[in-house]
Structure 1
Amino acid sequence: MSNVVLITQKIFKADSSAVFSLKTCSEDDLVCCLPAFKATICDGIVGLAPVYRTDFSLQSLAIASATTVLLINMPSRASKKKRPGKSRKENQPNGRRPRDALRNFLCDTTIFKVAFQMDRLASSLFLNYSLLVVSGKDLLSLSGDERHSVQSLMNSLGGELTLHKQHVVQLFVREESADNKPETTALQAWSAGHAAVVPHVQQKLEKIPSISTEAIEERILTIIAHAVRNTASLNALKPLRVKNEIQQHSARQGGELTVVSQRYKTRLMRTAGHQTVEITTSEADGSKRVIQAKVSGTKGRQAMISLKGTLEQNARLHSVETIGRSPPTLAEALKTTVLLHALQRQISFSNHPFIQTMWESKGGISWRKTEKLRTPAPLYYPPRGLNASQEKAVNAILSDKEKSRVVLIQGPPGTGKTTVIAAAVTSITSSSDQENTLWLVAQSNVAVKNIAEKLASVDFLDFKILVAKEFHFDWHEHLYTKIEPNLIRSDEFVADGVVTERLLQGSRVILCTLSMLSNDRISAFSSLVPLQTVIFDEASQIEIGDYLPMLIRYRPTISKLVFIGDNKQLAPYGASDITGLGSIFEKLHLTSRAIFLDTQYRMPTPIGSFISARVYKNKLKSKHPIFDPACCRFVDVSNGAEEAKGRSWQNVREASVAIKVARQLLAAGKSFRIITPYDPQRSLLENKLKDAKLPWEDKCFNIDAFQGNEDDYIVISLVRSEKMGFLREMRRVNVMLTRCKKGMVICANRRFVEGKAAQSLVGQLAASLGHETWVGANDVLTKGVQPFR
């Protein structure tokens, strides 16, 4: 055990001179340390505070009484010992081993354990060390849904009037990070325990359900714990600094500044929690000055900024950056709440047939009467005939068999996933059962819009799209031109059933994003058009835990779930950084019976055949009139070099070549898009189009934002010239190479493609097409050679 350290707390005003001791020990010392620590507990309450490693495994645990904090350094490797059985005796071994001593302490029913985020701590204890918790209290539950705000911390500690706010903010600015000093973790644990004995906090805390993981089935606890950890890990991936791309002109008035955001992804949003805005100005004398600020409000692209300082009249805005992670979205907050309530046993995942089917491979699912499937609809799709695999997929969606309660459809690029959705819609709405309803849901607004346009293209217009005002107004109104009458924006949502009925105009088909299903304000729509059959497009991009709020909230009405996606295309965000994070397409008991759409109609045959052989084990057939290998050309940008741009990359020379190709395509009257794997390159390409006075809106895309999209011609800027980077990610490269309908031009360094990248999908494509596929960049730039035909 280490030496004892004395700490004076500066959090609570009433006990400003309170001192406690900090003792640090390893897990091996617990047999001796814990009994001594327990002797210091006088009120039956201890505060807990964890320290997590970067993967959110538990690194250390602080346990605090009123006078003593014991900081336990946990081993880096979790015990392989199986979880104890359910009986009380099995859960309380003889205590002679260190892990048993901690297990007994955590399961002691006479001691209440209080932590600010007990849901996260209980999950980590279980996942890493097979340890359970009894009588755990989550302090942030006192603040309702606003768990991540500074105000929620103040409330859970007893209220702002009783606290030194600046010390509270300083104590929790890094939450429970491994960057914290032992004294910080100790003070977090002590503060939790101290708050729990403040009379008005204690009264409220007694009404909060306890977390007792000992009482939850292991299979259910495993689902919950993994979902909790993935949620925390995804939040940690949010950037700590975002450079907000703004237009240079701005309006100033006193201490207020109004700026116009240029790009939706980097737009300024109202600051919350620990977030601030840093405005860097270029002064008249050439110096730089940083001013702290907050965003007080937004209206479309406009953001109103309150300055904590003065802005010189002649100063020019150099940059605007948001500092601090963005707060949870509505969907993220609801997911956290659902998981917390599951741990508190306010809601149950047990015997939920859809959760059982999606997460577990065992059979024998019991479906309730309320989950009775409606009358099956016959296939009806007048626009054109379906191929055999599409017909099989649609029939599975329409089936009333229990084995088709959950349907997976794998759709490689260009195989008609939206056609399958459209055929399901026309079939269900034309059936004799006029009470059938259908919700079409996707991860992104653009994917929802694509589905809507497909329905409109086959003359089906009896649907409504629910879209957030923040996405639509002043940003993406142009995307909805063809389907504007079908749009219902979030500022039109009301609780009044009569008004909502008028907005729906009798539609039984509703389109929205998955996050929209977490919005309480759509309850009027779900009451009139209950969620029965729900089809998820882009399902391979949705982390499986993200379905849990929807499964709980709409359990009374849901009767069928359909997941359409492709686990050979983009994975859920964060999958490359977080072990075990995946979509429903990673559940082998479901993918083993997924329906495979086997014919692609988008890509010219040479590209389609290559993708089939290298990605889909020759199972993907091509039906396309273009057979000429010249449909795909490579431009050798031999003097192009990858350059670091922050944490990303760009290639200036390659961008110039791509713009030249774009100019040629535009002159030839050909429709095209430019795509690239890196955001700085996308911005560079867009700016070069502007400088060249060429059409630039909706022309340049990051690959990750372009799945589900296509164009006649695709120009690719590979960027990489030395390191493999994204080329190691086969799923992203597959998306990149499968967007064109007529032709594709890849700007790249030939030496790199045929050398280090020879075994990548791009390198193999170049090799399969042969030397004649290459053309020199100088020939394109100076001699007017056109790489396409």
Structure 2
Amino acid sequence: MTTPTPKRKHLEIIQVLISHPNYYGIRIRQHVVDETCITERMLDIFSTERGTGAERADPLGISVGYTKEGRLAALAVADKERCCIIEFASLPPPNRQQKMEILQKHVLCRSIGELYAFDAAKLAMVLWSELGVKVTRAIDIQSVFTDTDFPSDRKPLSAIQACFGDSDNCKLNEKNIDQIFNDLTYNFEEISQMRTDILGRAWISCILPSHENGISTFSTAKPINTSELSGQLLDTLNVLARVSEDSRRVSHLMPTETDHQFSDARASAASIDGTSIDAHASAYKTRFHKSQNVITTFQLESGEQIQRRGQISSVDGKSATVNFDTSVMSDNKNVISIISTDRDLPTSAEGKHNPWICNILLYHDTIDNGADQSSLEWPGSWFPSSQPDTQISTARPLSDCNPASHHLNESQQQALDHMLSSYPITLIQGPPGTGKTSVIATFVHHALAEGKSGIWLIAQSNVAVKNIAEKLLQTNFTDWKLLVSEDFHNDWHDNLYTKIQQHIILSTQFWRLSAKKLHGSRVFLCTLSMLSNPHISRFTEVVALRCAVVDEASQIKIADYLNIFIGFSSLRKICFIGDDKQYRMPPQLGDFISQAVYNNELKSNPLHPIQNDIIACHFVDVIDGQERRSTSQSFTNDAEAAVAIQLAHYLQEQQMSYKIITPYDSQRNKIQKDMSKVDGLDWK
């Protein structure tokens, strides 16, 4: 959208998103108002025909903008010719309620007519959680295009392309469309552009259902009606709104672009006309993803730099291909940078009234710190009797020849007993090094010996899941499979799985698995995100997810648990295990951190092998070290890298094991590259 110089109270914005005979030269009247100035007369133009007083039934488009912190900053309401942008100024509740009732009456809950929006479900929750207003007949635009003929990536551009099709008389300005949807931040420092962008999102939401056969296409969509919710269903909406708000604020803290680190980028061998390049990623954190939009900077032989927009067309491990509309590579061009401009794609979730949401998300205060769970309500059909057993029986000993029968201390035994009980929720808190992984492995042996089934071992990180798998092997339990994303495994971290390779199933194998491959599997392990894989049912048909043991549970956002609570009706027990404190540190280090960070509440292991007679920490002041920025988010320090390599060489000569840790990907890559050049240094 073009941004004119503001000379009048009501601006006119010329749309530059779609080139089509129906929309040539359309000027949208933009009216901006503070929420304190909302009036009946101002908004009834969207619900009542002027002159006749008849109710309007034509579609309206709505869009929102957020502050840098993820709070609601503005709401845009548009028809084909006008757009009203309401900016929120944090009115006190009594005054805001009156204004929001006007907004709800004339826009959000009209007697007739639909509202159209991208990510409408999320938008409806935002309006309820922050403004206390409901919506009637809101249509989520992306959900309409779920047919296999169209992309299902929920990108607004994909839905718009699907709506307009391949018409000869229509051309989409994809660059402009990407721009208005790429970042929903409503930055008051760039207010003119922000208003133009939010207007564009609302206006195009309005015209899509009116375009040619759009009415029949959108008529299949199921409307969102939060105005019909009450009682417990409204409580569920409150929970989902809070979860959505938490997720949204976290996402707004994430960068809007990723500077991809790569070791090589050159013209694609498969590209005859030079319209694509092949790049080799050098850092997993900034790896390439298929369908990412990227801006690639090239340097000419003259030293001049030029930029071209492209898209990642394919990814194979570390290798990726970037396609461009025009030829970009020649002998006198070098690739300087590849920066993707996409935030994480939005995900959709459906809320249902179920015991997990009610007892954990709605009434979580009642189970804080192991409080009595008798006040929680669970379906009687879940238990042989009407309520879960109140008595926790001590786990019977295992065979002495089984490593899992190793001695458990008192707290570990209590944890195991509670995990084996019929209580639906078990909370275990234990700092690193207190034997949580051993308790998980012991639980698997005892639970299966007691005839329990449906055990899934889950964590946030792949490394945590891998550690549990290795512990199972140490206890001679082999009837399990570990589900791993091929993207994480191949080329990047395959070395992590050397000891357990025969138990690995890669995500690319899911759809073609045979029953023989899963024969004998009694337990599955995976990351929490893997449970969202569309082929996960192939495994839950073998081992239904009845008991989920979640390691590193404190690292996981509440929003990420919704998939377990909603997606698996077989779930009857969940064990949350984790802690945010340390325990493995030598006491001299732990005491310092306890004093500086934890108000002297952090306790170290008194039996730690490294006591105060051994110096456990050295500080090396690299005086001539200069930190320099390598990317927008990463740094390197040549002098410190050289010292790290010098220390590594010394430790290797002393036959001591070591690890090098750095907070920056660029520094890690530099150290790894420099170490590989040192003769005799076993850097791998």
Please indicate the TM-score interval, normalised by the length of the shorter structure: 0.7 to 0.9
Q: Deviations over 1:628-667 (max 9, x none)?
A: 2412222233444544443344433333222222111111
1:161 paired with 2:167, answer yes
Distance 1:656 1:163, change over 3 A: farther
Opposite residue 160 of structure 2, the aligned amino acid is L
Q: Deviations over 1:475-531 (max 9, x none)?
A: 3222111111111112221366xx23x112312111111111000112111111001
Opposite residue 647 of structure 2, the aligned amino acid is V
1:385 paired with 2:410, answer no
1:626 paired with 2:610, answer yes
Q: Secondary structure at the match of 1:665?
A: helix
1:527 paired with 2:541, answer yes
In structure 2, distance between residues paired with 1:20 and 1:291 = 31
1:324 paired with 2:344, answer no
1:225 paired with 2:210, answer no
Distance 1:108 1:298, change over 3 A: closer
Q: Deviations over 1:58-113 (max 9, x none)?
A: 222222234432222222x25435998xxxxxxxxxxxx43332232223333422
Opposite residue 544 of structure 1, the aligned amino acid is I
Structure 1 stretches of 5 or more lacking a match?
85-96, 343-347, 570-599, 699-789
Task: Provide the residue aligned with 1:203 in structure 2.
Answer: 216
Distance 1:632 1:203, change over 3 A: same
Task: Provide the residue aligned with 1:426 in structure 2.
Answer: 445
Q: Secondary structure at the match of 1:632?
A: coil
In structure 2, distance between residues paired with 1:247 and 1:695 = 25
TM-score between the two structures when normalised by the length of structure 2? 0.83
1:38 paired with 2:53, answer no
Q: Deviations over 1:227-268 (max 9, x none)?
A: 223444444424413233224788645325434333322333
Distance 1:464 1:243, change over 3 A: same
Number of matched residues?
626
Task: Provide the residue aligned with 1:647 in structure 2.
Answer: 633
Task: Provide the residue aligned with 2:382 in structure 1.
Answer: 371
Distance 1:446 1:282, change over 3 A: farther
Q: Secondary structure at the match of 2:536?
A: helix
1:562 paired with 2:575, answer yes
Q: Secondary structure at the match of 1:691?
A: coil
- Indicate the larger mover: 106-115 or 607-616: 607-616
Q: Secondary structure at the match of 1:673?
A: coil
Task: Provide the residue aligned with 1:313 in structure 2.
Answer: 331
What's the CA shift for 1:611? 5.0
Q: Give the conservation status (yes or no) of the 8 Å contact 2:180–2:198.
A: no
Task: Provide the residue aligned with 1:27 in structure 2.
Answer: 35
Paired residues for 1:123-522 under 5 Å: 123-144=125-146, 145-148=152-155, 150-155=157-162, 157-161=163-167, 164-167=170-173, 169-175=175-181, 176-178=184-186, 180-198=193-211, 200-216=213-229, 217-236=233-252, 237-247=254-264, 252-253=269-270, 254=272, 255=274, 256-272=276-292, 275-278=293-296, 280-281=298-299, 283=301, 288=305, 290=307, 292-307=309-324, 308-313=326-331, 315=333, 317-325=334-342, 328=345, 336-338=347-349, 341-342=350-351, 348=352, 350-360=353-363, 361=365, 364-369=375-380, 371-372=382-383, 378=395, 380=397, 382-383=402-403, 384-400=406-422, 402=423, 405-429=424-448, 431-433=449-451, 436-494=453-511, 499-500=514-515, 502-522=516-536
Opposite residue 507 of structure 1, the aligned amino acid is S
- Indicate the larger mover: 22-31 or 383-392: 22-31
Q: Secondary structure at the match of 2:615?
A: helix
Task: Provide the residue aligned with 1:103 in structure 2.
Answer: 104
In structure 1, distance between residues paired with 2:480 and 2:99 = 62
Distance 1:39 1:250, change over 3 A: closer
Q: Secondary structure at the match of 2:348?
A: helix
Structure 2 stretches of 5 or more lacking a match?
1-6, 50-54, 147-151, 188-192, 367-372
Q: Give the conservation status (yes or no) of the 8 Å contact 2:459–2:552.
A: yes
Q: Give the conservation status (yes or no) of the 8 Å contact 2:261–2:287.
A: yes
Task: Provide the residue aligned with 1:738 in structure 2.
Answer: none
CA-based RMSD of the aligned residues comes to 3.2
In structure 2, distance between residues paired with 1:680 and 1:666 = 24
Q: Deviations over 1:25-58 (max 9, x none)?
A: 2223322312345334743432212222222322
1:686 paired with 2:672, answer yes
In structure 2, distance between residues paired with 1:470 and 1:492 = 12
Task: Provide the residue aligned with 1:729 in structure 2.
Answer: none
Task: Provide the residue aligned with 1:588 in structure 2.
Answer: none
Distance 1:408 1:683, change over 3 A: same
Distance 1:244 1:163, change over 3 A: farther
What's the CA shift for 1:355? 4.7
Aligned-residue sequence identity (percent) comes to 29
Opposite residue 357 of structure 1, the aligned amino acid is I
In structure 2, distance between residues paired with 1:453 and 1:396 = 24
Distance 1:132 1:259, change over 3 A: closer
Q: Give the conservation status (yes or no) of the 8 Å contact 1:238–1:325.
A: no
Q: Deviations over 1:579-638 (max 9, x none)?
A: xxxxxxxxxxxxxxxxxxxxx5x4434334555666371555332222124122222334
Distance 1:64 1:439, change over 3 A: same
In structure 2, distance between residues paired with 1:418 and 1:612 = 24
Q: Give the conservation status (yes or no) of the 8 Å contact 1:51–1:60.
A: yes
Opposite residue 210 of structure 1, the aligned amino acid is P
Distance 1:366 1:134, change over 3 A: same
Q: Indicate which of 51, 57, 73 corresponds to 1:59.
A: 73
Opposite residue 421 of structure 2, the aligned amino acid is S
TM-score between the two structures when normalised by the length of structure 1? 0.72
In structure 1, distance between residues paired with 2:44 and 2:317 = 60
Distance 1:166 1:642, change over 3 A: same
Q: Give the conservation status (yes or no) of the 8 Å contact 1:37–1:70.
A: no
In structure 2, distance between residues paired with 1:287 and 1:466 = 47
In structure 2, distance between residues paired with 1:445 and 1:541 = 13
Q: Give the conservation status (yes or no) of the 8 Å contact 1:531–1:557.
A: yes
In structure 2, distance between residues paired with 1:559 and 1:266 = 38
What's the CA shift for 1:461? 2.0
Distance 1:393 1:203, change over 3 A: same
Q: Give the conservation status (yes or no) of the 8 Å contact 1:380–1:426.
A: no
Task: Provide the residue aligned with 1:715 in structure 2.
Answer: none
Paired residues for 1:583-594 under 5 Å: none
Q: Deviations over 1:143-201 (max 9, x none)?
A: 2342125222333x544528844336514523244254434433432322222334632
Distance 1:73 1:608, change over 3 A: closer
Task: Provide the residue aligned with 2:149 in structure 1.
Answer: none
What's the CA shift for 1:214? 2.8
Q: Indicate which of 589, 601, 606 corresponds to 2:588.
A: 606
In structure 1, distance between residues paired with 2:288 and 2:295 = 9
1:663 paired with 2:649, answer yes
What's the CA shift for 1:415? 1.7
Task: Provide the residue aligned with 2:121 in structure 1.
Answer: 119
Q: Secondary structure at the match of 1:683?
A: helix
In structure 2, distance between residues paired with 1:56 and 1:290 = 30
Distance 1:618 1:64, change over 3 A: closer
Q: Secondary structure at the match of 2:562?
A: helix
Task: Provide the residue aligned with 2:661 in structure 1.
Answer: 675
Opposite residue 188 of structure 1, the aligned amino acid is R
